[in-house]
Amino acid sequence: MLVPAKKTKAEVAIVYSSSTDIWTLKKNLAYGFDRMHIWLALCHVQVPVDILYEKQVEEGALSSYRVCYLSGPNLTSKAAEKIVSWVKNGGTLFATAGAGMFDEYNRPMRILENVLPVERQMPQDIDPYFYYSSALWYFPVRETVRTESALMQVISVKQSLKEKHGCQVLGNFGDGSPAIVMGKSDTGVVYYCGFLPGLSYARPAIVARRQWNEKKSMFRDETSPETKQILEILDRSDNPWEFPSEIRNFIVLPVKKSGISLPVKCNADLMDAVYMEAPGGILIPVANYTLIPQKNIEFVVRVKRNVKNIESVHSGKLKFNQKKDTVSFVLPRLESTDFVKIMY
């Protein structure tokens, strides 16, 4: 099934700005890592995401998406014009510090200002970032952002904002000034962050793993199952696992507010489950980002026809319950990865 299987088209897009990569090279790589960890937060809750290049946006590819995430100070002017038109026609945009303030030639650009809920100053590179992702632990937290349900760290980039009339402030910097603002533009909605929330999501998990790693020699003689489990994770994987759910919920908020129906849902976070259509059925690769074996994970999957059987590569045949266009089942155990085959 895997070879011919194709990932279903998503309703959520992330714009990949090559213009940003070019103009921030050897200056600040934080914007690319912001984009990457926003993608990770969405994957952690089974949100399908497509990556759109600037050229695709220019050609109108965004028209079939309902939510778009944009990170990075540079964007082609034609892509910016398409994004503005898409928002005014009902799209939901989530933009982070400095997004689209310069064009592909690094000239100041004001095209996006027509739909943004803020007046914004130039972003400040408070700590330019030149390293790999796991080096985030090294960067100091210069500022914080507080919302009703989350406290987020400001890493590398900060931008001062002023909300436009009629727009809603969702979060504030430590001095009380706006950090997150939401507003409408015609029938569309725009969320704007004066910082890089993807870095805010990744850094606590990276720091937590490093702290455990520094202390592991102290726990070698511990016999508690919890400690043994963490020591085993540290020896087996270099990945972090303690990602903050409240920041993940904030990043995913535009998707939830837009009412998008996910093709795969499960009752556990930090589970990447990809819906792939294959001849005769559906194939779902599953990845466990908790790094801890999980039991009895409940799945609900969208289907187009009557299901004949469901099978896990590791657990064998699974019992299931079909209701019209969805099928539900329980995966009894998931260690790191699995494939679930749903056969019509």
- Helices 30-43 + 197-215 axis angle, to 10: 80
Q: How far apart are CA 296 and CA 132, in angstroms?
A: 35
- Please tell us whether the domain made up of 6-202 is placed in CATH 3.40.50.880: yes
| pLDDT confidence bin for 335, thresholds 50/70/90 | very high
CATH number for the domain running over 263-343: 2.60.40.1180
Are residues 277 and 8 in contact, defined by beta-carbon separation less than 8 angstroms?
Answer: yes
For 265-273, what is the mean pLDDT? 95
Condensed to tens digits (0 to 9), the pLDDT of residues 99-121 reads 999 999 999 999 999 999 999 99
Whole-number percent of the chain with pLDDT over 90: 87
Taking 90 as the threshold, does the pLDDT of residue 337 lie above it?
A: yes
Closest CA to 102 of 70, 73, 72: 73
| Lowest mean pLDDT across 76-80, 229-233, 244-248, 250-254 | 229-233
Condensed to tens digits (0 to 9), the pLDDT of residues 63-89 reads 999 999 999 999 999 999 999 999 999
- Helices 197-215 + 245-257 axis angle, to 10: 150
Mean pLDDT, the chain, as a whole number? 95
DSSP state of 74: B
Q: Whole-model pTM?
A: 0.94
Q: Say which residues have a Cβ less than 8 Å from residue 296's Cβ, sequence separation at least 6.
A: 330, 331, 332
Condensed to tens digits (0 to 9), the pLDDT of residues 298-323 reads 999 999 999 999 999 999 999 999 99
Q: How far apart are CA 255 and CA 322, in angstroms?
A: 26
Question: Which amino acid belongs to residue 9?
Answer: K
| pLDDT confidence bin for 215, thresholds 50/70/90 | confident
Domain ranges of the chain: 6-202, 263-343
